[in-house]
Amino acid sequence: MTKLPLKSNQESGFSLSGLSGRVCVITGGAGILGQAICHGLAANGIRTAILDLNHEAANNLARALESETGTRCIGVSADVLNKESLEQAKKIVESEFGQVDFLINGAGGNSPKATTSKENYQPSSPLESGVEKIERSSIFDLDQSGFKFVFDLNFMGTLLPSQIFGEDMAKRGKGVIINISSMNSFKPLTKIPAYSAAKASVNNFTQWLAVHLAPAGVRVNAIAPGFFLTDQNRFLLIDKETGEPTARGQKIKSNTPMGRYGDPENLQGAVLFLLSDLSSFITGVILPVDGGYSAYGGV
Protein backbone atom coordinates (compact mmCIF):
# COMPACT_ATOMS: atom_id res chain seq x y z
CA MET A 1 0.00 0.00 0.00
CA THR A 2 1.34 3.43 -0.93
CA LYS A 3 1.62 5.74 2.05
CA LEU A 4 3.18 8.94 0.92
CA PRO A 5 4.67 11.39 3.42
CA LEU A 6 2.03 13.48 5.14
CA LYS A 7 4.47 16.20 6.12
CA SER A 8 6.43 18.39 3.74
CA ASN A 9 9.57 16.65 2.61
CA GLN A 10 12.44 19.12 3.17
CA GLU A 11 14.58 17.66 0.41
CA SER A 12 11.98 17.55 -2.33
CA GLY A 13 9.82 20.41 -1.13
CA PHE A 14 6.81 18.29 -2.10
CA SER A 15 3.94 17.58 0.25
CA LEU A 16 0.66 15.72 0.39
CA SER A 17 -0.19 17.39 3.67
CA GLY A 18 -3.36 18.93 2.20
CA LEU A 19 -5.01 15.54 1.81
CA SER A 20 -5.46 14.39 5.39
CA GLY A 21 -8.98 15.06 6.70
CA ARG A 22 -10.40 15.78 3.24
CA VAL A 23 -13.48 13.92 1.99
CA CYS A 24 -13.52 11.69 -1.08
CA VAL A 25 -16.45 9.94 -2.75
CA ILE A 26 -15.44 6.97 -4.88
CA THR A 27 -17.98 5.11 -7.02
CA GLY A 28 -17.43 1.41 -7.62
CA GLY A 29 -15.08 1.63 -4.65
CA ALA A 30 -15.79 -1.93 -3.53
CA GLY A 31 -14.41 -3.38 -6.79
CA ILE A 32 -10.92 -4.75 -7.24
CA LEU A 33 -9.19 -1.58 -8.40
CA GLY A 34 -11.47 0.56 -6.23
CA GLN A 35 -10.46 -1.32 -3.07
CA ALA A 36 -6.78 -0.64 -3.70
CA ILE A 37 -7.48 3.02 -4.39
CA CYS A 38 -9.56 3.24 -1.18
CA HIS A 39 -6.62 1.80 0.77
CA GLY A 40 -4.37 4.52 -0.61
CA LEU A 41 -6.92 7.21 0.30
CA ALA A 42 -7.56 6.03 3.85
CA ALA A 43 -3.86 5.40 4.53
CA ASN A 44 -3.28 9.06 3.74
CA GLY A 45 -6.02 10.29 6.06
CA ILE A 46 -8.68 10.96 3.40
CA ARG A 47 -12.16 10.27 4.80
CA THR A 48 -13.66 8.02 2.17
CA ALA A 49 -17.26 7.34 1.16
CA ILE A 50 -17.35 4.10 -0.81
CA LEU A 51 -20.38 4.22 -3.12
CA ASP A 52 -21.29 0.91 -4.72
CA LEU A 53 -24.22 -1.17 -5.93
CA ASN A 54 -22.86 -3.84 -3.61
CA HIS A 55 -23.61 -2.15 -0.28
CA GLU A 56 -22.41 -5.06 1.82
CA ALA A 57 -18.99 -5.15 0.13
CA ALA A 58 -18.70 -1.36 0.50
CA ASN A 59 -19.57 -1.55 4.22
CA ASN A 60 -17.14 -4.40 4.84
CA LEU A 61 -14.36 -2.52 3.10
CA ALA A 62 -15.11 0.68 5.04
CA ARG A 63 -14.92 -1.18 8.36
CA ALA A 64 -11.67 -2.92 7.40
CA LEU A 65 -10.08 0.35 6.29
CA GLU A 66 -11.14 2.15 9.46
CA SER A 67 -9.65 -0.47 11.71
CA GLU A 68 -6.47 -0.65 9.65
CA THR A 69 -5.83 3.08 9.16
CA GLY A 70 -7.88 4.88 11.83
CA THR A 71 -9.43 7.03 9.07
CA ARG A 72 -13.23 7.30 9.08
CA CYS A 73 -14.73 5.52 6.04
CA ILE A 74 -18.32 4.64 5.17
CA GLY A 75 -20.02 2.32 2.69
CA VAL A 76 -23.01 3.81 0.87
CA SER A 77 -25.44 2.08 -1.47
CA ALA A 78 -25.61 3.87 -4.82
CA ASP A 79 -26.34 3.21 -8.47
CA VAL A 80 -24.30 5.48 -10.72
CA LEU A 81 -27.02 5.20 -13.39
CA ASN A 82 -29.75 6.55 -11.14
CA LYS A 83 -29.77 10.23 -10.19
CA GLU A 84 -32.17 9.75 -7.27
CA SER A 85 -29.94 7.08 -5.80
CA LEU A 86 -26.93 9.40 -6.15
CA GLU A 87 -28.81 12.30 -4.53
CA GLN A 88 -29.70 10.02 -1.65
CA ALA A 89 -26.07 8.89 -1.33
CA LYS A 90 -24.93 12.53 -1.33
CA LYS A 91 -27.23 13.31 1.60
CA ILE A 92 -25.75 10.40 3.57
CA VAL A 93 -22.16 11.41 2.78
CA GLU A 94 -22.77 15.04 3.72
CA SER A 95 -24.46 14.14 6.98
CA GLU A 96 -21.48 11.93 7.92
CA PHE A 97 -18.62 14.02 6.58
CA GLY A 98 -19.83 17.47 5.49
CA GLN A 99 -18.74 18.81 2.14
CA VAL A 100 -17.17 16.58 -0.50
CA ASP A 101 -13.71 17.60 -1.75
CA PHE A 102 -12.95 14.84 -4.23
CA LEU A 103 -14.87 12.53 -6.56
CA ILE A 104 -13.39 9.42 -8.16
CA ASN A 105 -15.60 7.87 -10.86
CA GLY A 106 -14.53 4.25 -10.54
CA ALA A 107 -17.68 2.28 -11.39
CA GLY A 108 -17.36 0.77 -14.84
CA GLY A 109 -16.55 -2.37 -16.70
CA ASN A 110 -17.15 -4.59 -19.69
CA SER A 111 -19.61 -7.44 -20.31
CA PRO A 112 -19.45 -10.64 -22.37
CA LYS A 113 -22.69 -9.41 -24.01
CA ALA A 114 -20.76 -6.62 -25.68
CA THR A 115 -17.72 -8.71 -26.59
CA THR A 116 -17.07 -10.47 -29.90
CA SER A 117 -15.56 -13.93 -29.59
CA LYS A 118 -13.37 -13.35 -32.65
CA GLU A 119 -10.86 -10.54 -33.16
CA ASN A 120 -11.62 -10.16 -36.86
CA TYR A 121 -14.67 -10.70 -38.98
CA GLN A 122 -14.23 -13.82 -41.05
CA PRO A 123 -16.22 -13.69 -44.28
CA SER A 124 -16.04 -17.46 -44.59
CA SER A 125 -17.98 -17.95 -41.31
CA PRO A 126 -21.46 -19.19 -42.12
CA LEU A 127 -23.58 -16.25 -40.99
CA GLU A 128 -26.60 -18.42 -40.52
CA SER A 129 -24.82 -20.78 -38.13
CA GLY A 130 -26.54 -20.91 -34.72
CA VAL A 131 -23.22 -21.60 -33.01
CA GLU A 132 -21.67 -18.45 -34.44
CA LYS A 133 -24.63 -16.43 -33.22
CA ILE A 134 -24.43 -17.81 -29.68
CA GLU A 135 -20.72 -17.08 -29.58
CA ARG A 136 -21.34 -13.47 -30.71
CA SER A 137 -18.46 -14.00 -33.08
CA SER A 138 -18.63 -10.65 -34.87
CA ILE A 139 -20.02 -7.13 -34.58
CA PHE A 140 -23.10 -8.28 -36.52
CA ASP A 141 -24.10 -10.65 -33.72
CA LEU A 142 -23.99 -8.14 -30.86
CA ASP A 143 -27.26 -6.94 -29.37
CA GLN A 144 -27.99 -3.28 -28.81
CA SER A 145 -28.80 -4.09 -25.18
CA GLY A 146 -25.26 -5.35 -24.46
CA PHE A 147 -23.76 -2.27 -26.09
CA LYS A 148 -26.09 0.03 -24.19
CA PHE A 149 -25.36 -1.61 -20.84
CA VAL A 150 -21.60 -1.19 -21.20
CA PHE A 151 -21.77 2.27 -22.75
CA ASP A 152 -24.13 3.56 -20.07
CA LEU A 153 -22.23 2.05 -17.15
CA ASN A 154 -18.94 3.63 -18.21
CA PHE A 155 -20.09 6.94 -19.72
CA MET A 156 -23.39 7.83 -18.03
CA GLY A 157 -21.97 6.34 -14.83
CA THR A 158 -19.24 8.98 -15.02
CA LEU A 159 -21.46 11.85 -16.13
CA LEU A 160 -24.20 11.52 -13.49
CA PRO A 161 -21.99 11.42 -10.35
CA SER A 162 -19.98 14.34 -11.80
CA GLN A 163 -23.21 16.33 -11.99
CA ILE A 164 -24.41 15.35 -8.53
CA PHE A 165 -21.12 15.80 -6.64
CA GLY A 166 -19.39 18.31 -8.94
CA GLU A 167 -21.93 21.11 -8.60
CA ASP A 168 -21.13 21.97 -4.98
CA MET A 169 -17.40 21.86 -5.78
CA ALA A 170 -17.95 24.35 -8.61
CA LYS A 171 -20.04 26.63 -6.37
CA ARG A 172 -17.38 26.51 -3.65
CA GLY A 173 -14.59 27.13 -6.19
CA LYS A 174 -12.53 24.06 -5.27
CA GLY A 175 -12.53 20.35 -5.95
CA VAL A 176 -11.00 17.51 -7.90
CA ILE A 177 -12.64 14.87 -10.08
CA ILE A 178 -10.76 11.80 -11.31
CA ASN A 179 -12.30 9.51 -13.93
CA ILE A 180 -11.12 5.96 -14.48
CA SER A 181 -10.45 5.37 -18.15
CA SER A 182 -8.55 2.51 -19.79
CA MET A 183 -5.91 1.62 -22.38
CA ASN A 184 -8.62 0.92 -24.94
CA SER A 185 -9.60 4.60 -24.85
CA PHE A 186 -6.50 5.57 -26.86
CA LYS A 187 -6.74 2.76 -29.41
CA PRO A 188 -9.60 0.27 -29.29
CA LEU A 189 -8.71 -3.25 -28.24
CA THR A 190 -10.07 -6.08 -30.36
CA LYS A 191 -13.29 -7.81 -29.23
CA ILE A 192 -14.58 -5.04 -26.93
CA PRO A 193 -16.10 -2.31 -29.11
CA ALA A 194 -18.61 -0.96 -26.58
CA TYR A 195 -16.10 -0.74 -23.72
CA SER A 196 -13.52 0.90 -25.99
CA ALA A 197 -15.99 3.47 -27.31
CA ALA A 198 -17.27 4.21 -23.82
CA LYS A 199 -13.80 4.78 -22.37
CA ALA A 200 -12.81 6.94 -25.36
CA SER A 201 -15.87 9.03 -24.55
CA VAL A 202 -14.77 9.20 -20.90
CA ASN A 203 -11.46 10.72 -22.08
CA ASN A 204 -13.25 13.22 -24.26
CA PHE A 205 -15.62 14.13 -21.43
CA THR A 206 -12.69 14.47 -19.02
CA GLN A 207 -11.16 17.12 -21.26
CA TRP A 208 -14.50 18.82 -21.86
CA LEU A 209 -15.33 19.00 -18.18
CA ALA A 210 -11.81 20.16 -17.28
CA VAL A 211 -12.24 23.13 -19.61
CA HIS A 212 -15.80 23.79 -18.45
CA LEU A 213 -14.93 23.79 -14.74
CA ALA A 214 -11.46 25.36 -14.87
CA PRO A 215 -12.76 28.87 -14.07
CA ALA A 216 -14.59 27.39 -11.08
CA GLY A 217 -11.38 25.96 -9.62
CA VAL A 218 -12.36 22.32 -10.14
CA ARG A 219 -9.69 20.13 -11.75
CA VAL A 220 -10.79 17.12 -13.80
CA ASN A 221 -8.34 14.41 -14.86
CA ALA A 222 -8.41 10.70 -15.62
CA ILE A 223 -6.14 7.76 -15.05
CA ALA A 224 -5.91 5.09 -17.72
CA PRO A 225 -4.96 1.79 -16.09
CA GLY A 226 -3.15 -0.71 -18.30
CA PHE A 227 -3.80 -4.39 -17.71
CA PHE A 228 -4.76 -5.58 -14.26
CA LEU A 229 -6.07 -9.11 -13.82
CA THR A 230 -9.58 -8.69 -12.39
CA ASP A 231 -12.99 -10.36 -12.60
CA GLN A 232 -14.12 -8.33 -15.60
CA ASN A 233 -11.27 -9.45 -17.87
CA ARG A 234 -10.24 -12.79 -16.37
CA PHE A 235 -12.38 -14.67 -18.92
CA LEU A 236 -10.39 -13.03 -21.72
CA LEU A 237 -6.91 -13.46 -20.24
CA ILE A 238 -6.90 -16.84 -18.47
CA ASP A 239 -8.12 -20.09 -20.02
CA LYS A 240 -11.02 -21.35 -17.88
CA GLU A 241 -10.10 -25.02 -18.43
CA THR A 242 -6.33 -24.97 -18.08
CA GLY A 243 -5.66 -21.85 -16.00
CA GLU A 244 -2.97 -20.93 -18.54
CA PRO A 245 -2.75 -17.44 -20.13
CA THR A 246 -4.84 -17.19 -23.31
CA ALA A 247 -3.19 -16.01 -26.53
CA ARG A 248 -4.62 -12.57 -25.70
CA GLY A 249 -3.08 -12.66 -22.22
CA GLN A 250 0.31 -13.58 -23.67
CA LYS A 251 0.05 -10.80 -26.26
CA ILE A 252 -0.68 -8.24 -23.53
CA LYS A 253 2.33 -9.25 -21.47
CA SER A 254 4.65 -9.18 -24.44
CA ASN A 255 3.36 -5.70 -25.36
CA THR A 256 3.87 -4.36 -21.85
CA PRO A 257 7.51 -3.25 -21.66
CA MET A 258 7.55 -3.86 -17.89
CA GLY A 259 6.54 -7.46 -18.65
CA ARG A 260 3.72 -7.97 -16.14
CA TYR A 261 0.14 -7.16 -15.26
CA GLY A 262 -0.31 -4.19 -12.93
CA ASP A 263 -0.90 -4.63 -9.21
CA PRO A 264 -3.98 -2.61 -8.20
CA GLU A 265 -1.79 -0.81 -5.60
CA ASN A 266 0.16 0.65 -8.53
CA LEU A 267 -2.75 3.07 -9.09
CA GLN A 268 -2.49 4.69 -5.67
CA GLY A 269 0.40 7.06 -6.39
CA ALA A 270 -1.23 8.48 -9.53
CA VAL A 271 -4.55 9.02 -7.74
CA LEU A 272 -2.98 10.72 -4.70
CA PHE A 273 -0.87 12.93 -6.95
CA LEU A 274 -3.89 14.05 -8.99
CA LEU A 275 -5.96 14.72 -5.86
CA SER A 276 -3.23 16.70 -4.16
CA ASP A 277 -2.02 20.22 -4.72
CA LEU A 278 1.16 18.70 -6.21
CA SER A 279 -0.87 18.66 -9.42
CA SER A 280 -2.49 22.07 -8.89
CA PHE A 281 -1.77 23.22 -12.48
CA ILE A 282 -2.81 19.92 -14.08
CA THR A 283 -6.29 19.53 -15.52
CA GLY A 284 -7.67 17.67 -18.53
CA VAL A 285 -4.96 14.97 -18.68
CA ILE A 286 -5.42 11.23 -19.07
CA LEU A 287 -2.54 9.65 -17.17
CA PRO A 288 -1.60 6.11 -18.25
CA VAL A 289 -0.61 3.72 -15.45
CA ASP A 290 0.34 0.87 -17.73
CA GLY A 291 3.92 -0.39 -17.42
CA GLY A 292 4.70 1.33 -20.72
CA TYR A 293 1.98 -0.40 -22.81
CA SER A 294 0.74 2.79 -24.46
CA ALA A 295 4.29 3.91 -25.31
CA TYR A 296 5.25 0.68 -27.07
CA GLY A 297 4.89 0.42 -30.84
CA GLY A 298 5.12 -3.38 -30.77
CA VAL A 299 8.57 -3.59 -32.42
Kindly list the catalytic residues: 195
The b/e string for 199-230 (b: 16+ C-beta within 10 A; e otherwise) is bbbbbebbbebbeebeeeebbbbbbbbbbbbb
Using CA atoms, how far apart are residues 271 and 176, in angstroms rounded to an integer?
A: 11
Residue whose beta carbon is closest to ligand NAD = 31
User: In one letter, which amino acid is 129?
Assistant: S
Residues lying near ligand NAD in the complex (CB under 6 A): 27-28, 30-34, 52-54, 78-81, 106-109, 153, 157, 180, 182, 225, 227-228, 230-233
Q: How far apart are CA 284 and CA 267, in angstroms?
A: 18
Give the number of other Cβ atoms within 10 Å of residue 247's Cβ.
10
| CB distance 152 to 194 below 8 Å | no
Could you tell me the smallest distance in angstroms from the CB atom of residue 250 to ligand NAD?
16
* Cα separation, 141 vs 118, whole angstroms: 11
Kindly list the strands in the beta sheet with 286-289, ordered across the sheet, starting from the edge strand earlier in the chain: 73-77, 47-52, 23-27, 102-105, 175-180, 218-225, 286-289
Distance CA 30, CA 61 (A): 7
